[in-house]
Structure 1
Amino acid sequence: MSQVFASIDGSAAAPGVCDYAAWASQRLQAPLTLLHILDRTLYPQAGDLSGTIGLGSREHLLTELAALDQQRSKVALEEGRIILQAAQSRVQAAGITEPMLRQRHGDLIACLSELENEMRLLVIGRQGERSASTEHQVGGHLESVIRTLHKPILVAGDTFTAPQQIMLAFDGSATAHKSVEMLADSPLIKGLPCHLVMVGADSHATREQLKTAQHRLLKTASEVHLAIVAGEVEPALHAYQAEHNIDLLAMGAYGHSRIRQFFVGSTTTNLLRSSTSALLILR
């Protein structure tokens, strides 16, 4: 069965990831897996060092290094176990009775790619434990995760608030219409008000596109508000979101207009950095 995966580590983002993952798991009625990945660059698996160090008078050094590697790996595994247990307690308090705990050793992107077929949704934080502590800094792996995976990704907000409204950034592209279809068929937004927002010129053609999408979304959303706003994409979307107190922003990862350039280009990081709310990325 497809599951909600929560990618957690020892960072300050982990509690929010757990909370959003528990919410999504309940909304989707899908099992929740808490995933902790031991970064091999921080905790490399022990290798054969004899060719580098040599034997003879330095054999004792080889033995000591092997023992040190083994100890570091043991400590990392124990730290991961503690992180998973804390996450388990948190999601159980939120109503998830039997979360699955999984620990992997390797590269984050490679591990998530291997598990992709089991995913219905990935929940991840903006920052990992290796990221700088600067406010709104975006973790270095996040963009790579977004570009690599082909499943929806929920980037947790700074603090958890159960979403009461969702806003979908719409640009009229085939990808945008696919995003509408995905939301319309998803229990994630069932019963929630939805704002369908297009950045650009107001015209009869764009209004008709929005009305078509509105009709489709009414299958799931309690109501759908349409809006066409002018200006640059990033500030226009954030201004509308703030004005209407929207706590979940959704958008497709790829499109064919300014929103595509905005999202997959160099300003992707700016969006994630400037937003404190949760972001649902549809693929």
Structure 2
Amino acid sequence: MAQALNYKSLGNRYVLVAEDVELNQYLVRHILESWGFTVDVVTDGRMAVDMVQKHNYDLVLMDIQMPEMDGIEATKAIRQMSDPVKANIPIVALTANALKGDCEKYQAAGMNDFLPKPFNEQKLFIVISNNLNTGASASATTPMNESNMPVIGTEEKLYDLNMVQTISGGDEGFVKRMVQLFIETVPPSMADLQKETAEQNWVNASKLAHKLKATIDSMGIIRIKEVVRTIEANGKKGEELEKLPGHVQEVITVLEACMMQLKRDFEL
């Protein structure tokens, strides 16, 4: 199932992993390096702060409970750095304590997102994709909230076919055909959107986002409902263009995961 995601699509990124459990270090390093990432691993928060000061990472995976300095204190220290790029690096919390109250605590510390343990390759890919390419405005553009928590996979459906089922009047054949059409027609649009984004043809990217918008709404893919509208509006107006590649990657990643879920659930 997870093989449908293109794990090489994020390019050669430089990621810091702050994690004190050796087995977890090995697991995360193995996954990230298989994607083509360069990975540094440290065992406590103080070392994480030192490494961020010395190197230019694309993202930090930060365990919460560590010796010397925990993940929350380390994040606060990074957010206070004088270099604005380092101070705004995307930081994703790794935690076994994925309680609702913890989400606000991590956000208050300056973390962009969190990934509950145990996680698999797909979940890790989704949360990293969503938090890369956000640059200096990371904390402003990717707030943690209920809608973008990385609970993708068997835990939560990415789609909601209520509207399609209502229209069908109980005809399951109609619903299945709608799903098949989605799986057949969306990949070319995704490929076109990636191509236009890579070539910085923002007006064309805006038109493609508009085309995808209705499909995303019909299939009830709430997670990227606002993101696709942002691509459409900003591409058309030529505003905040530096953020569009990150938004596009989020749309692509969620659509790929959604198609995997639909293929599984409808046995296609």
TM-score (norm 1): 0.31
Bigger fraction of residues in strand: 1
Rg: which structure is higher?
Answer: 1
Name the structure, 1 or 2, with higher relative contact order (CA <8 Å, separation 6+): 1
Could you state the TM-score of these two structures normalised by the residue count of structure 2? Answer: 0.32
More helix by share: 2
